Amino acid sequence: MNEFQLTLMNITARRGTSVSELAKRVGYEPFLFEKIVTGKTRQVPVDFFIRIADALDLSTVEKDELVRSWAFGIERWNWSSSILSSPRRPAQRSAG
C-alpha cells in the first residue's frame, strides 16, 4: 500500500465513509479512480484533489496532507531497499 492510499483511507475512515464510496461521490470512473489511488497511474485529472476535498469537506491541513502524500509518498515506496538499508558514510576526499 502506498502512502497516498494509506492517507486517503485514514481520512475516509475519520469521515465515516470508504474509498469506494468516495469514488462514487467524486464521479470518476471506478477503474480510473482505483488506478490513481493504488499508484498504477500518475496521470490524474486536473480537478482530482479538488473533487476529493469537496466530497470529504477537508480542512486545509487535510488537503495539504493528501496532496503531499501523493507528491512525495509514492516514490518513497519504490526506493531500492539497498539504498534504504545501507549505512551512511562520510564522503571521501582526495588529498591534493
| pLDDT tens, position by position, 16-66 | 999 989 999 999 888 899 999 998 998 899 999 999 999 999 999 999 999
User: Which of 1.10.260.40, 3.90.700.10, 3.40.640.10, 3.40.50.2000 would CATH assign to domain 3-79?
Assistant: 1.10.260.40
Q: Which residue has the higher pLDDT, 26 or 84?
A: 26
Nearest to 62, CA basis, from 2, 10, 5, 3: 10
Q: Which residue has the higher pLDDT, 12 or 30?
A: 12
Long-range contacts of 61-68 (CB under 8 A, 24+ apart): 62/11, 65/7, 65/11, 66/4, 66/7, 66/8, 66/11
Which cell is 77 given? 515506496
Sequence ranges of the domains in the chain = 3-79
The H or E element that residue 74 is part of is helix 74-77
